[in-house]
A and B are shown apart, each in its own frame.
Chain A
Amino acid sequence: MSIFISIVLTSIKRNIRDRKNVIFLLLFPILLTFILGNALSSVDVGNEAAASLHTKLALVNQDDNGMVSKQYEQFLKSKEIKDIVTTRPISTINNARIQLKQENVDAIVYIPKGFSYAIENGKSKQMQVIVSGNTEGDIIKDLTESFLSRVKSHVVLAEMGKHVIDTQMPPIIYDHPLKVSGKLPKAIDYYAVTMLIMIIMYSANLGKGLVANFHYSSLGSRIRTLPIHPMKFFLGQAVGELLTVAAQIVILIFFFKFAFHANLGDHMTHLILTCFLLGLITILIGIAFSLWFNPHAADRILNIQIPILTFLAGGYVKLPDSNTLLNFLQNIMPNALAQSIIFQDIYGRHNAQGIHELINLFICLVVIFIIVIVGLRRKKYGSFCK
């Protein structure tokens, strides 16, 4: 076995055997996602319950032919929904309220005039769900929310690129019919992605540890007395760290998908590759900071940047749209870019936009790579003698 492969494998072995590390890499993100996903979830509707229910909905649509409301109507007519929801169009909200009072319907959905127009132009306008307070009403609430979160994510995505939803955009609902089972909360779909991104950001610590071990530990000194080029050793370890992160990503994705049943879209390879790319960039960021700053400062910067970048990317809560500074930042932050690419993949791709972001992500990679190379030269990793 070549020396290089030994170094790579050793590095992976060490990562896996370090119990604290494994807890941090896997258990922590799984728990965090679970907590966030559930704390912010709405009612959990079981499969069986949903099947035995029949819900009557009064739809008051005054949005005359607006795109979003039309999509909503289509959504209600889709096969899975029709099985559990009967829709009755009613022309005014007052009539609908009377029906609700007489318990002829379980819920009212009221789409006001100009709703689609407002959404398409990035303004906010309320779509109202009025429920009677029984389980049936809650189902309507859940379904509508899930529908809206899809619309919203489109709007958010579009906003990031300063685009507006246009009619060319493929209708979401046909592409990805909602699963009516609704067994899992919608929040988990969102947090599965944003937490995945955040956890990948933490692999900066692996990059940092790499430099710290090599440069400031007794092991590092020992390694520099060996008849092996320091750069070869360093690279071998870096590859090991990268593979560790790759394994972590795959495990998390599978966990989120199959244990949490989070909606991660149908393009698994896209998702995984985007995450790998982000992982690579993040490790390089960790290396770069540790090469250019003293270990203490690097540690602090790296630990602060992760929550800040996650927040700015809307990882914890969705941020208000239409802030130019924020838009600008999100266009250069690797985590925000990756997140946006992933959301587009899940909720329908807007090609030009996605490619634009992918290019930005690669630019990030190149820039950080150059910073690392220069930093390595500065620290003389390239030569034997220091």
Chain B
Amino acid sequence: MIIDVSNLVKRYNDFLAIDHMSLQIKDGEIFGLLGPNGAGKTTLTKTLLGLCKYDSGSIKLFGSELIESEKKIKERIGLVPQDIAIYDELTAIENVQLFGKLYGLSGSQLKAGVKEALEFTGLYKLKDKSPSQFSGGMKRRLNIACAIVHKPDLLIMDEPTVGIDPQSRNYILESVNKLNKQGCTIIYISHYMEEVAAICSQIAIVDKGRIIAQGTKEELAKLIEGDQVLLITVQSVDFSTIEKLEKVPMVKDITLNHNQIRIISSDSVINQVMNLLISNDVQINKIVTNSPSLEDVFLTLTGRALREESN
């Protein structure tokens, strides 16, 4: 067991950011932590690495508590922080070199690690450029390179692909897979269902400081097996109509996003829904039925969308 968290509680003053969380992560896994904004994902990583105190519970990394052998444990971990943390005044390669040194590398080991990390993130050609000339995605990649230079046994990636174009994102996901194949255990934190579904061997869904479901992609999908998803695009709709829809039997969850109503139900409810909408003079433009995705699992479990859709 690389990580063993039990009954962890972390408060910010009165606010309960982590609520009696227990979590085990096995060697060799790509462990996905999925949760909406403010779920407590970053707070969890901070407590894991000793960046902030926790109130109760216990954390074991590589079988021991952080305080017991902090230096040794930290040498085996790499963190890709959610906020980009690189030096703008240093070139890409100088950044990676510096962090390599700080992780305890030197000599040929350092040289090789730096080269590999830069190649891994596709930055080798840009190694002598300053990050201030980088695009957001390139900075993200450098942010990753600085965390893998010492070939950690455990890599924690806190939303590494935010603001990255799809191509770079795929590149990063492939890299994560490659790292994992080389024996690195990875905690992958994200809002993006597709990413997590694509690479993670275990997924935990976090909400309000708690893990509300955990398992493989398939296991999670089973949680709502037999459910149906109905997507209805309408001209316009008012809240009283939505409220009425919620009262339809077997409807589990309803969300309204712009003019699209999404209904998750345990059985087909098309007839009832149609009747209700028509009798309320709602103009229907389009109807689609789907089998549920991970996103829908999330919706039914938490009652809210993973990301607040912008615009």
Contact = CB atoms under 8 A, between A and B. Distances in A.
Interface of A: 1, 3, 6-7, 10, 13-14, 17-18, 217-219, 221-228, 233, 384-386
Nearest to A232: B102
B52 interface: yes
A17 B89 contact: yes
A105 B293 CA distance: 105
Contacts of A226: 74, 99, 102-103
A380 B46 CA distance: 16
B107 to A, nearest CB: 10
B81 A221 contact: yes
B18 interface: no
Interface of B: 46, 49-53, 66-67, 70-72, 74-75, 77, 79, 81-87, 89-90, 94, 98-99, 101-104, 146
Given A228-B102, A386-B50, A222 B81 contact: yes
Nearest to A9: B98
B70 A14 contact: no
Contacts of A227: 70-72, 74-75, 102-104
B90 A386 contact: no
B291 to A, nearest CB: 41
Given A225-B74, A226-B74, A226-B99, A13 B85 contact: no
Given A227-B71, A385-B67, A218 B83 contact: yes
B85 A221 contact: yes
B89 A225 contact: no
A385 B71 contact: no
B51 A386 contact: yes
A384 to B, nearest CB: 5
Given A385-B53, A385-B66, A386-B50, A13 B83 contact: no
A14 B79 contact: no
Contacts of B67: 384-385
B58 to A, nearest CB: 14
Contacts of A18: 89
Contact of B53 (A3, A219, A222, A386): A386
Nearest to B70: A384
A69 to B, nearest CB: 59
Contacts of B90: 10, 13-14, 17
B208 to A, nearest CB: 23
29 contacts: A1-B101, A6-B98, A6-B102, A13-B89, A13-B90, A17-B89, A18-B89, A218-B81, A218-B82, A219-B85, A221-B51, A221-B81, A221-B85, A222-B79, A222-B81, A222-B85, A223-B102, A224-B51, A225-B49, A226-B74, A226-B102, A227-B70, A227-B104, A233-B102, A384-B67, A384-B70, A385-B67, A385-B70, A386-B51
A378 B128 CA distance: 40
A10 B98 contact: yes
Given A14-B87, A222-B146, A386-B52, 11 more contacts: A3-B102, A10-B98, A13-B89, A13-B94, A18-B89, A218-B81, A221-B81, A221-B85, A223-B102, A225-B74, A227-B74
Contacts, number: 75
B79 A219 contact: no
Most buried by B among A14, A217, A225: A225
Nearest to A226: B102
A228 B70 CA distance: 9
Given A3-B102, A225-B77, A227-B71, A384 B50 contact: yes
A224 B87 CA distance: 15
Given A226-B102, A226-B103, A219 B87 contact: yes
Contacts of A6: 98, 101-102
Nearest to B79: A225
B28 to A, nearest CB: 22
Query: Can you list the 5 inter-chain pairs with the closest CB atoms, starting with the nearest?
Result: A218-B83, A227-B74, A222-B85, A14-B89, A218-B85
Contacts of A217: 85
Most buried by B among A14, A226, A228: A226
Contacts of B87: 10, 14, 219
Contact of B51 (A3, A17, A219, A225): A225
A281 to B, nearest CB: 26
A7 to B, nearest CB: 8
A384 B51 CA distance: 9
Contacts of B102: 3, 6-7, 223, 226-228, 233
Nearest to B73: A227
A1 B97 CA distance: 12
A217 B103 CA distance: 20
Contacts of B86: 219
A221 B90 CA distance: 18
A293 B268 CA distance: 62
